[in-house]
Amino acid sequence: MTKVTKAISLLAILAGISLASTTVQAEPTLDEVQQRVSERLPGIAVSSLSKSSVSGLYELVTDGQVYYVDETAEYLVDGSLIRLSDRTNLTDARLGGIHVSMIEEVGEDNMLIYEPQKPSNRSITVFTDISCGFCRRLHAELDTLLEEGVRVRYLLFPRAGIGSQGHKDLESVWCADNPQGAMTVAKAGGNIEPATCDNPIEQHMALAERIGLQGTPLIYTDSGEKIPGYREAGVLASMVNESEPVTN
């Protein structure tokens, strides 16, 4: 074999290796990625698995939280996905919608609701406690929200835990003849008649744990925005009325 022939043969071999290394493998199906996730994370209940806005990265939702995995399910990302062009936190936006759906599963029969005079389909949902100073401050501004056509839905979260005085006080509010009036009295520092009955407080607390509540008030607008801590009622009303509600 001449040097020229050897050179041509070597180039052919290298070209074949290069071609093989750059061949694009078929993209796995969601079922295939799901199977790999199940193998890597046995016992994890996956609520949903879908393609993210980043090529090769999949959004994994489990128990109200969002994670990301690659197509091999070898790597898992626990953190926020941020689109730098407009600084949008895509993870937070997605989480808000997920949490609103979880809240809706509670059902309005298991919420303490303040209604505007005129019927409205716009609302905020607030995890609240009687002894929380900022919860009291927000409640004192309730009329502003109602006048702007925003329904206020309370979920009850005694910060001191089950069996605490705060838990008993919230149960007394729920079981009162007029729960809305009893809550207003209690948040103003007044006394309410002790009462017991079936109540959803433990259900509210379990939901709060699933969505990662770290303090009260924790507010969700019906557009899916999560607001940890106090926000002026007028600002909240504008946030609601200048947005579109989440559609499930």
Chunked in runs of 10, what are the mean pLDDT values of the chain (248 residues)?
40 41 70 93 90 92 92 92 92 89 96 95 97 96 97 97 95 98 96 96 96 94 93 96 84
Eight-state DSSP code of residue 164: S
Q: How many angstroms separate the CA atoms of 54 and 34, rounded?
A: 18
For the chain, give every domain's residue range.
Answer: 30-90, 101-241
Distances (CA, A) of 210 to 64, 78, 98, 230: 6, 16, 11, 21
CATH, domain range 30-90: 3.10.450.70
Token representation of residue 246: 């989440």
Distances (CA, A) of 181 to 111, 114, 167: 14, 10, 18
pLDDT in the model for residue 84: 94
Say if residues 115 and 81 touch (Cβ distance below 8 Å): no
β partners of residue 220: 125, 226
User: CA quadruple 40, 45, 48, 53: dihedral positive or negative?
Assistant: negative
Q: What is the pTM of this model?
A: 0.80
Residue type, 216: T
Q: What is the DSSP string of 178-237?
A: SHHHHHHHHHTT----------SHHHHHHHHHHHT--SS-EEEETTS-EEES---HHHHH
Q: How many CA atoms lie within 13 A of 131 on its CB side?
A: 13
Provide the CATH topology of domain 101-241.
Answer: Glutaredoxin (3.40.30)
**Helix %, strand %, coil % of the chain (to 5):** 40, 20, 40
